[in-house]
Chain A
Amino acid sequence: MFNILHVAAHSIFIITLALLLSLLFNGLERKLIARMQARIGPPIIQPFLDIKKLFIKENIVPANSIKWLFNAMPLVALASALLLFLYMPFAGMPPLLQAHGDLILVLYLFIIPPLALAIGAFASASPYASIGAQREIVLMMSYEFVLSVVVIAFAWLLSFSHAGAYAFSFDTLTAYPIWNLVDGIGKLGVALLLVSALAVFPAKVAKLPADISEAKTEIAEGVLVEYSGRNLALLLMAQAVQALAFASLIVALFFPWNISAFLALPSIFALIADFIFFLVKTFAIMFASLILVSAATARLKVDQAARIYIYYVFLLALFGLAFIGLDRLLVM
């Protein structure tokens, strides 16, 4: 009984922290993009103001939509995005529900928010939303390949080097950082995997150059077109949370180190140091693959984006896998 209460309290803490952090990162992103465009930009707390405003707005449900589906999907999107943080290492701590889920569950949970968004868009009966939802699905099918190659490479390598350990658990991934398992050409392979995972980032969170599903000037915000008020607030929060979640997934896979392992700190300071180090790592990932890229690029067409992901990025990931394999051959 006590254990259940403890887990519940802990997960509420993690979810609140994740929500606050992701909105803060979203504000920072808007501010930095504005600075790069020589503008002053909105205050960093702007996403909080926007969300607060959306909650007092009227919540319109279109007359010929499927109402329960239309209203349920924003909740599903936000809930599954937030649930991710219970199964992933977050803020330098091991995942709370480690015994109940692994990397494969996390990958499946990552699919739910875009899927919920697409279903909600189809349910809204708007032609713009329908176009947006189709684009979302096309894009999702093209980048999921890349992510599965990345995960397969990790599991394959770990099953060779540490045959006894469970290769898909975050515990193993944290205990044996991938860079230490390979050398020479294998390190190049891991770097290629990292680049291809980073290339997926903009498509995963629908930011430029891959904001094709909600192209504002083209299909009137696409999947979001009929959402207003509270539902829109939930969807915007889900997107922000997904961005933080994907950044922390990349951190957990490629940069699982904690700073407290290198500095001998008393436990409370170690927690704080790890937390700050986690923020620095996730922000660096976001800055490199989201903020810089979306400030510098224009929107791709959906067929261009799908071609880039299916051909080039997928090929890049496959080369990474091949290099890692080659490295294993050289070791043996």
Chain B
Amino acid sequence: MGLDALKRSLWVFHINTGSCNGCDIEIIAALTPRYDAERFGVKLVGSPRHADVLLVTGPVTRKMKERLIRAYEQMPEPKIVVVVGNCGSTGGVFYESYNLEGPIDKIIPVDIYVPGCPPRPEAIIHGLAKAWEKLEGMKKCKQQNL
């Protein structure tokens, strides 16, 4: 039993750090019958304590910085952070805005970026597949003591 146990069972906690709700609706769309992320074992959970993946949207407003760090720290290891949308990846149209602390990788370590404004549900599912690959990589590093 190693990290590959995560492969077919990624539980996702979604946090909105000031996004316009566009990305959040695309995340919900990924769970609808048309895309059905649950067939890969992906489940949206209500508490960061249950999560394997932190799905972050939005450019991180000042108020949300502490909360984002807190949610990240509440997650049990091993964990992966996936950023959904341009705002979270680079700041997007809010780049260098006076009221922002972001982008997200200035605050917590980010593993996967899903660009788009908003990204399509396929792209979000693809991002989660990349998260599996990253965990597999972690497993290989562990085996070779890297």
Contact = CB atoms under 8 A, between A and B. Distances in A.
B52 A34 contact: no
B52 A53 contact: yes
B45 A57 contact: no
Interface stretch (A150-158, A213-221, A254-262, A292-300): A213-221
8 contacts: A30-B38, A34-B36, A34-B39, A49-B9, A56-B3, A56-B6, A220-B46, A221-B46
A53 B50 contact: no
A41 interface: yes
Contacts of A287: none
Given A42-B41, A52-B5, A229 B76 contact: yes
Contacts of A60: 49, 74, 76
A56 B2 contact: yes
B47 A56 contact: no
Given A39-B33, A221-B45, A49 B39 contact: no
B1 interface: yes
Interface string B21-51: 0000000000001001011110001110110
B36 A226 contact: no
B78 interface: yes
Contacts of A309: none
A288 B7 CA distance: 33
Nearest to B3: A56
B39 A59 contact: no
Interface residues of A, number: 32
A128 B3 CA distance: 30
A278 interface: no
A289 interface: no
A97 B5 CA distance: 37
A167 interface: no
Contacts of A42: 38-41
A145 to B, nearest CB: 30
Contact of A226 (B2, B3, B49, B77): B49
A57 B41 contact: no
Contact of B77 (A46, A57, A217, A225): A57
B76 A58 contact: yes
Contacts of A8: none
Contact of B39 (A39, A57, A224, A225): A39
A207 B35 CA distance: 24
Given A34-B38, A40-B36, A228-B76, A56 B5 contact: yes
Contacts of B40: 42
A55 interface: yes
